[in-house]
Amino acid sequence: MEETVKEIRQNMEQMPAVALRGLSILPGMVIHFDLNRPKSICAVEQAMLGEQLLFVVTQKEEATEEPKQEDLYEVGTVTRVKQMSRMPNGIVRVLVEGTDRARLLSLSEDTKEYLSAFVVRLPQDAADTDERHKEAMTRQLRELYHSYSALHPRSGKILDKKLDSMENLALIIDSITSSLPLPAATKQTILAAETLTERYDFLSDALYNEISVGLIRKELSEKLQKKVNKNQRDYLLREQMNAIREELGENNSISDAELFLEEAKKLKADKEVKDKLEKEISRFKSLSVSSTESAVERTYIETLLEMPWNKVSKENTDMSRAERILEEDHYGLQQVKERILEFLAVRSLKAARAGKTAQTGKAAQTGKAVQTGKTVQTGKAAQTDKAALPESPIICLVGPPGTGKSSIAKSVARALSREYVRISLGGVRDEAEIRGHRRTYVGAMPGRIAAGLKQAGVGNPLMLLDEIDKVSSDYKGDVSSALLEVLDGGQNSRFRDHYIELPINLSKVLFIATANSTAGIPKPLLDRMELIEVSSYTDNEKFHIAKEHLLQRAYENHGLDDGSLIIGDSAVKAVIEGYTREAGVRGLERKIGEICRKAARELLKAEQKKPEQKKTGKTIIKVTVRNLEKYLGKVKYTRNPANVTDEVGIVRGLAWTSVGGDTLQIEVNKMPGKGELRLTGQMGDVMKESAMTGLSYVRSISKAYNIPADTYKKNDFHIHIPEGAVPKDGPSAGITMATALVSALTGIPVKADLAMTGEITLRGRVLPIGGLKEKILAAKIAGIKQVLVPKKNEKDVEEIDAEIKSGVDIIFVEHMEEVLKYALRTE
């Protein structure tokens, strides 16, 4: 007895100990487990400071928080700590490998911070039987485990292959015990058994029990399979086919439902979207492949999978690069370019500050264990709010056709490195085109907005809503009303498409709309957009656009980019002045194309007429002002030049048209009559009222200009504006008609090189008007030297390019007295 005690003391070891709840570790096992009790964590840390040896023992009751020796099983396992890592919420994850069974002798009272145990290792292979018995037990365990593995191929497959190469009975027992889904108490019983025979008996009983349960489950499963309906049987057959294909290595031939599930797992989307997808895929599984409903369900699932829920593209934040791209693609349009660069600058600043905020938040959280998960989550949400990027502006470009509204949107997308999607709204009258069709309808599909996002493949494209002023409404709904939610920055983060049936985030989309006029856009919709007016191009701007963009494009499109056709600068200017009358450059591009086509035909004829020996020379066609008529015919448009001499009753007015500015020569005749006022030249109601207002004002100042009082009773007045086939309207010709009336009544001529524009009141005040850029440009082209403009339009004149104003003396007037002072030739 004394010798046994002495031997135990010699073999006794002291090492840190950890009490496990609901877990038993056997020799040979490599396993990781989590610890959250301070004493257990401290014990692992002490083990890592020494030889990494740690004694692990299972406690009898899981609820015990401070276990003592009587709360622990007598036999545990000596393990070697492989790895220790700290997790959130103060948890430590430990990876250990079991080495030896050991008996717990006592717990040390010297250490309060952690458990320290005195243990003695137990022999793994207690010699309680001969080799023949060991071989018999080994073979029996192998056969039993093979039977278990046949019933549980997933859990037993790995060890089943290794078992045949194992010879050590103790190792076989520990390996099988570790792999079986046994309760911790059963594993502890096998661990605590002193001899191999006892451990064999416990394990074989457990294996027999697991095999019996497996056979019963198999029998129940077979009975259940006989009761399934046709659809379930088809599903099981498909699953079996997939299993066969997997065994044959044909893994690509998986079912559509499984493929959808795999894609749904990879999809970057919120939980709401994934839950919806799983529900629809589950429904798709139960449908017959040949049914119509299956095809509808398949289309819906594919649409949800193709939507870019949380996928966004990386934007360009390089201001200089964005500015260079915008300047390369378009000449002019400075206001549009500046607005886009402002948006990019704000977004870049916010993104930079968001990064700094995130770093600050991480630093603040360092050292604070995740003790209260809710608090940390709230902090992250607060950081997200602070770092939120600015809402994308919703810009509406308003201007005449052909001025580059649609093409500038594509350049903006390139400058910002965003995907480009164009949605044409011209003639759209069904609300479902925007919101989508409900899935109850045959042939239902998502609306144009959702389809555009699907086409882009990202959640932050640039979306061009082209011709937004051309939408209409009928009994199927109002399209403009449906667009209200789309273009509202406060609502479009959860836009609902009737087909998709899930909220779509449109807040990251950069919307750019185009319109020729705001007259057809409802006010609520107009209020949601930032209007940028794209005015008509000047002749000089058209010339630069032709030189920098149109000519080279036309040469390439017609196979003339080898230098065989040269259109001179003077010819381009002549085309602009004599063959086009437009605000944009579409007509100019067509005329250049016409020259290229005729030149290509001429080149081909010249090449065919050349003898074989002279075909090496290159034919070059040069188009100049002199030979331009050969390609485009006679000049179609002529400018209305300023009058050569001062005349009575004739005043040059300025007008705005949809194709730019123009000058109007207003004529007034006084003739014997009864005081009637006749107006001709297709004047609109507003213009007619302006003429009557002007006449009333002139009558009120008759004494100042020595006009007899009975003149208005004995004479009729006729106001005519030439080009009678062209409708005219607006108040801006008011001061022009009043000046012409004064000139006709007094016989004082009006300066020939002067033009004017402005609205008149009964008291002679001059009110502001619009379209000044186009009007002043028209005056400059006509050779007008002086232009009278309302004083209240001074700020608008300041915004006009100096190129347009050069050579024109702009005089600001507030009253008709000033107008008559500058206009009448009294010398």
Alpha carbon of 246 to those of 253, 508, 652: distances in Å? Answer: 9, 43, 88
Let me know: does 586 contact 553? Beta carbons within 8 Å. no
DSSP secondary structure code for residue 573 in this structure: H
SS (H, E, C) 130-196: CHHHHHHHHHHHHHHHHHHHHHCHHHHHHHHHHHCCCCCHHHHHHHHHHHCCCCHHHHHHHHHCCCH
Compute CA 589 distance to the chain's CA centroid, rounded to the nearest angstrom.
33
Q: Which helix (H) or strand (E) holds 426?
A: none
Compute CA 63 distance to the chain's CA centroid, rounded to the nearest angstrom.
53
Let me know: does 59 contact 21? Beta carbons within 8 Å. yes
Let me know: does 43 contact 114? Beta carbons within 8 Å. yes
Q: Please choose, from the candidates 171, 161, 169, the residue with its C-alpha nearest in 3D space to the C-alpha of residue 135.
A: 169
Backbone φ, ψ for residue 472 (5° rounding): -140, -175
Three-state DSSP at 286 gives coil
State both tokens at 339: 């607005």
Q: Which residues contact 374 (CB under 8 A, 6 or more apart)?
A: none
Three-state DSSP at 611 gives coil
Backbone φ, ψ for residue 815 (5° rounding): -145, 155
Q: How many helices (H) and strands (E) does the chain have?
A: 31, 26
DSSP string, 108-135: -SS-SSSEEEEEEEPPSS---S-HHHHH
Compute CA 652 distance to the chain's CA centroid, rounded to the nearest angstrom.
52
> Per residue in 535-558, is it b (16+ CB within 10 Å) or e — as a string?
bbbbbbbbbebbeebbbeebbeeb
State both tokens at 797: 């004149």
CA gap 552, 572 in Å, rounded: 13
State both tokens at 534: 């794209």
Active site residues: 732, 775
CA gap 741, 239 in Å, rounded: 95
- For tokens 């004995």, name the residue: 714
CA gap 304, 726 in Å, rounded: 54
CA gap 782, 807 in Å, rounded: 12
Q: Please choose, from the candidates 149, 201, 203, 146, the residue with its C-alpha nearest in 3D space to the C-alpha of residue 178.
A: 203
State both tokens at 253: 């031939």
Tell me how crowded residue 244 is: count the other CB atoms within 10 A of its CB: 11
Let me know: does 822 contact 811? Beta carbons within 8 Å. yes
Compute CA 761 distance to the chain's CA centroid, rounded to the nearest angstrom.
52
State both tokens at 581: 């009358």
Q: Which helix (H) or strand (E) holds 78?
A: strand 75-86
Q: Which helix (H) or strand (E) holds 391?
A: none
Q: At what angle do helices 169-179 and 153-163 cross, to 10 degrees?
A: 170
Q: What is the CA radius of gyration of the chain?
A: 45
Q: Which residues contact 672 (CB under 8 A, 6 or more apart)?
A: 714, 715, 716
Cβ-count burial of 75 within 10 angstroms (0-12 exposed, 13-18 middle, 19+ buried)? Answer: buried
State both tokens at 437: 């069709």
Q: Which helix (H) or strand (E) holds 511?
A: strand 510-515
